Amino acid sequence: MTNSEFPRRAAMAFVLCVLPALVVLARAEAVQSIKGAPASFTAECSSCHMAYPPSLTGKANWRGIMAGLDKHYGVDASIDSKTQQEISTWLLANAATSARQAAASPEFRITRSDWFIRKHDEVSASVWKRASIKSAANCGACHSGAARGDFNEDGVRIPK
């Protein structure tokens, strides 16, 4: 191989090998699991909305949410302190760690995080208010795989 060929081959190798691997990694990140959750988490945290995977947000937001369950977005979601401790421990152990996703947000909401707003900038205000959606917190309205923690863009269907 001549010297002039090398950059071209290196570029080809990147496109053929490295790029697909990066795409696979980016997709894996879109699947956020509730695997290993204590039974109390699904019992206490999925009756009013889906069980949000802990890796959707960071420790600061989870601490805030778990400390204010008696005044939880207009409802009383309080639980006994032993259960609260068990769920908190698991949420904090599995919380997001990247600075971008772990940043605290207003009302401790996932849906008011900068990353969330950026990823959803194509959704207009009127779409969020549709009767079929009601709230940005209603992930499953648009993400067909939300219940299994899959928020990949391929699974997005915005209801009428």
Site string for ligand HEC, 73-112 (x = CB under 6 A): x-x-x---------x---------------------xxx-
Site string for ligand HEC, 125-144 (x = CB under 6 A): --xx----x-xxxxx-xxx-
The answer to whether 87 and 44 are in contact (CB under 8 A) is yes
CB of 82 to ligand HEC, least distance (A): 13
How many of the chain's residues bind ligand HEC (CB under 6 A)?
38
Nearer to ligand HEC, 18 or 42 (CB): 42
Residues 46-75 that bind ligand HEC (CB under 6 A): 47-49, 52, 56, 65, 69, 72-73, 75
Query: Residue-wise over 92-113: b if at least 16 C-beta within 10 A, else e?
Result: eebbbeeeebbeebeebbbbeb
Query: DSSP code of 73?
Result: T
CB of 141 to ligand HEC, least distance (A): 5
The answer to whether 50 and 140 are in contact (CB under 8 A) is yes
Tokens of 19: 């790029």
